[in-house]
Chains A and B, each alone.
Chain A
Amino acid sequence: MPADDIDPWDDPTAKPLIRFDRVTKRFGEFTAINNLSLNIFETEFFALLGPSGCGKTTLMRMLAGFESPTEGHIFLSGQDLAPIPPNKRMVNMMFQSYALFPHLTIYDNIAFGLRRQKTPKAELAERVDEMLNLTRLEKFAHRKPDQISGGQRQRVALARSLAKKPKLLLLDEPLGALDKKLRQETQFELMDIQEKTGTTFVIVTHDQEEAMTVASRVAVMDEGQLVQVSTPDVIYEMPNSVYVADFIGDVNLIEGKAKKVEDGIDLNWAENQPTLHCKTNKSVSNGQICHLAIRPEKITIQSDTPETKNKVQGTILDIAYLGNISTYHVQLSSGHVIKAQTSNTRRIARRSFTWEDTVWLSWTETAGIVLDK
């Protein structure tokens, strides 16, 4: 019995709902998924994140049953999925295009799956009403899909895929067609619905903000492989590679030669610039080329010389004003451009820096992270 405060993915005794066991998928010469193993646990909200063509959609379509692995096995609750056709799987999918049946009303769209499994009439009506209620679509039950808005269509697609109470719900870029404001609202709605129904969700997206918002764990994919699988905060704060650091959010990547010191490394990265110190327990050999990744919001910008060990001086090249925050692009004498972010707690008229100002940038020893790949 796992303790309540241990997440299932940290608990070696937990049984995964889905297990990818060394799965490879090839389309002719092209390898879409390359020897991938992954566990997804019950009631998780799992995000597959990556650029287009990284294999995330293929992974999802294999779960739905529209593609089968070339090598390896996929297990759902311990059962090999390979011989089960899509219509017999306890898996439902919400399609990117929503794929609502244009000739059926919203009600009939939602009832479609229940009718196929010959649900008794009273039970069917109750379940459809429950779904309409959950997605706030009661008023539109008798309209056709082309008579409602994009956001409503998205909710119909969700209601339809949840109606059969699947063990696993797959969402293929579910919010891609919505505008930004609606997308953000819908993200929270999705999380609410996921919590209420207790269904395991696997979402495919290329929008890192969306993945970070909704998911309990995020898998960052590249070229058919998982680069990092972890919770959003770990992915952001402790990326395991330059690829992940660069893909998620904004980052300064400083390349240099490492020198081992007592509690971490010193990075010798440019002539006429002080070495940068970073605490790390990573084993790095002397003289190895590695990257220091620092998020812009962890860099302080000021006009007087700072006290900290890591500091560089430069002039402001650009200011991106985003309302709540501003990003400063500071050019150093070595030519490097470093991004620093401050939140705009003051009115813009009282902003302390402007273009061409000479400023100091500084950060603590623990702000950055050393990446050797």
Chain B
Amino acid sequence: MRRYFLIITPYFWLISLFVIPFLIVIRISLSDPEISIPPYTPILSLEEGWSGLLQFLRQLDLDNYIFLTQDALYWKAYLSSLRIAAFSTIIALFVGFPIAYGMAKVQRKWQTTLLILIILPFWTSFLIRVYSWIGILSTEGYLNQVLLGLGIINQPLTLLNTPFAVYVGITYTYLPFMVLPIYASLEKLDYSLLEAAEDLGCSQISAFWLITVPLCRAGILAGCFLVFIPTLGEIIIPSLLGGSNTLMIGKVLWEEFFNNRDWPVASAVAVILLIILIIPIVLFQRNEQKQQDLGTR
């Protein structure tokens, strides 16, 4: 009895928190919009029994998905989101890796302090932190004032409502998700491996590429996924910092849902977004599995 309970618990959470909501989203994406509560049709009524269910199923269709392919806005938004997410991930990697490396290299007694400093920003609301970037980046913001004051520029730069501001906001927000897994894997790295590589004729730089990077590959990939996935669906940062020029799928979804009140199209957008995310994860996992199989043979 206890054994079954242990097995059922995780499946219970998985099904109730992930599978059922996802099925509901899919079901809505196959419906048509309707001015009612809820704002879509058909609605399954169990009173009519079998024929009611058949009737319900017959009314579901893929119209919303076909609609997504017809309007250029959507695929442009997807592409633009993918591009922004990919660039942000690369930027976060280049900024985050040295931070993680430095943290792993300092004395033990400092590591906890540094870890807390990395996590500290989470104590402030995400929204407020993004807002404060407006104060820094706007035409009258701190950054422009400092640059003007130092005489580096004569005219204030337009930083807000540009892709630059979006990248700054995303990198800033998601940096801890990049730093923490890389730090965890670097911290486990056996330092004698680097000495061994040097002893065998590596310079310190090539030892880094040949030993450090391959051995914390898992941490780097985890960090990249942790930044890439939420960035792809990000809505607050592009809305607040990117202005109307920045097209991201999260924003499109928001507008479909709240401005147009078109729940079925919004659901279809969400389903496609999920599929885009699942494909790389599955490919990645299969690749990992293959590598492991090769190793044990």
Listed in ascending order, the chain A residues whose CB lies under 8 Å from chain B are: 64-66, 85-88, 91-93, 95-97, 99-103, 112-113, 116-117, 144, 147, 160-161, 164
B295 and A87 form a contact (CB under 8 A): no
What count of chain B residues pass the 8 Å CB interface test? 18
> In the assembly, what is the distance between CA of A161 and CA of B295, in Å?
24
> Would you list the 7 A-B pairs with minimal beta carbon distance, nearest first?
A113-B200, A116-B201, A99-B196, A99-B192, A86-B198, A103-B214, A93-B199
Which of B210-248 touch A at CB < 8 Å?
A: 211, 214-215
Interface contact A93-B214, CB-CB below 8 Å: no
Which residues of B line the A interface, CB within 8 A? 190, 192-193, 195-203, 206, 211, 214-215, 295-296
Given contacts A99-B195, A116-B201, A161-B199, 5 further A-B contacts (CB under 8 A): A87-B201, A92-B200, A93-B195, A95-B196, A161-B200
Most buried by B among A88, A95, A101, A117: A101
The reply to whether A95 and B195 contact each other, CB–CB distance below 8 Å, is yes
B202 close to A116 (CB less than 8 A): yes
Q: Is the CB of A112 within 8 A of B295?
A: no
A117 and B201 form a contact (CB under 8 A):
yes
Complex: chain A residue closest to B201, CB-CB? A116
Complex CA distance for A97 and B192, rounded to whole angstroms: 8
Contact B201 A113 (CB under 8 A): yes
Assembled-state Cα–Cα distance A92/B196 (Å): 9
The answer on a CB contact under 8 Å between B215 and A164 is: no
CB distance from B224 to the nearest CB of A (A): 19
Cβ of B183 to closest chain A Cβ, rounded Å: 19
- Whole-angstrom distance from the CB of A331 to the nearest CB of chain B? 49
B289 to chain A, nearest CB (A): 16
Q: A102-B215, A103-B214, A147-B295 are in contact. Are A92 and B199 (CB under 8 A)?
A: yes
7 of the cross-chain contacts (CB-CB < 8 Å) are A85-B198, A87-B199, A87-B202, A99-B195, A100-B196, A101-B197, A112-B197
A101 touching B296 by the CB < 8 A rule?
Answer: no
- Which residues of A lie under 8 Å from residue B200 when comparing CB positions? 87, 92, 112-113, 116, 160-161, 164
Residue of A nearest to B214 (CB): A103
> In the complex, A282 Cα to B82 Cα: how many Å?
87
Provide the residues of chain A in CB contact with B201, threshold 8 Å: 87-88, 113, 116-117, 164
Q: A116 contacts which chain B residues (CB < 8 A)?
A: 200-202, 206
Query: Bound complex: CA of A96 vs CA of B195, how far in Å?
Result: 12
A87, B198: Cβ atoms under 8 Å? yes
Q: How far is the CA of A103 from the CA of B190 in the complex (A)?
A: 13
- B203 interface neighbour in A65, A87, A92, A93, Cβ under 8 Å: A87
- What chain B residues lie within 8 Å of A92 (beta carbons)? 199-200
Q: Say which residue of B193, B203, B295, B296 sits within 8 Å of A99 (CB atoms).
A: B193
**Known A93-B199, A147-B295, A147-B296; contact A99-B190, beta-carbon cutoff 8 A:** yes
Q: When chains A and B are docked, how far (Å) is the Cα of A100 from the Cα of B197? A: 9
Q: Specify which chain B residues have a CB less than 8 angstroms from the CB of A93 in the assembled complex.
A: 195-196, 199
Cross-chain contact B192 with A95 (CB below 8 angstroms): yes
Q: Bound complex: CA of A65 vs CA of B199, how far in Å?
A: 8
* Residues in A neighbouring B295, C-beta threshold 8 A: 144, 147
**CB-defined contacts of B215 to chain A, threshold 8 Å:** 102-103
Q: Which residue of B lies closest to A143 (CB)?
A: B295
Residue in chain A with minimal CB distance to B291? A103
User: What chain A residues lie within 8 Å of B195 (beta carbons)?
Assistant: 64, 66, 86, 93, 95, 99
The distance in angstroms between the C-alpha atoms of A126 and B211, with both chains bound, is 25
CA distance A101 to B193 in the complex (A): 7
- CA–CA, A180 and B114, complex, Å: 44
A117 to B202, CA, bound (A): 9
Q: In the assembled complex, which residues on chain A have CB atoms less than 8 Å from the CB atom of B190? A: 97, 99
**Chain B CB within 10 Å, residue with most, of A66, A99, A160:** A99
Give Cα A164–Cα B215 distance, bound, in whole angstroms.
24
* Distance, CA A101 to CA B199, complexed state (A): 13
Considering only CB atoms, which chain A residue lies closest to B297 in the complex?
A: A142
* Residues of the B chain whose Cβ atoms lie less than 8 Å from the Cβ of A99: 190, 192-193, 195-196
* Interfacial chain B residues near A160, Cβ < 8 Å: 200
Instruction: Tell me the complex Cα distance, A133–B214, Å.
Output: 28
In angstroms, how far is the closest chain A Cβ from the Cβ of B107? 14
Report Cα–Cα, A95/B195, bound state, in Å: 9
* A271 to B227 Cα, complex, angstroms: 84
CA distance A101 to B214 in the complex (A): 10
Is the pair A64, B193 in contact by a Cβ cutoff of 8 Å? no
Q: Please, how many angstroms separate the alpha-carbon atoms of A267 and B202 in the complex?
A: 61
For B296, what are the chain A residues with a Cβ–Cβ distance below 8 Å?
Answer: 147
Beta-carbon nearest neighbor of A172 in chain B: B192
Minimal Cβ-Cβ distance residue in A for B199: A93
A64–B202 touching, CB < 8 Å? no
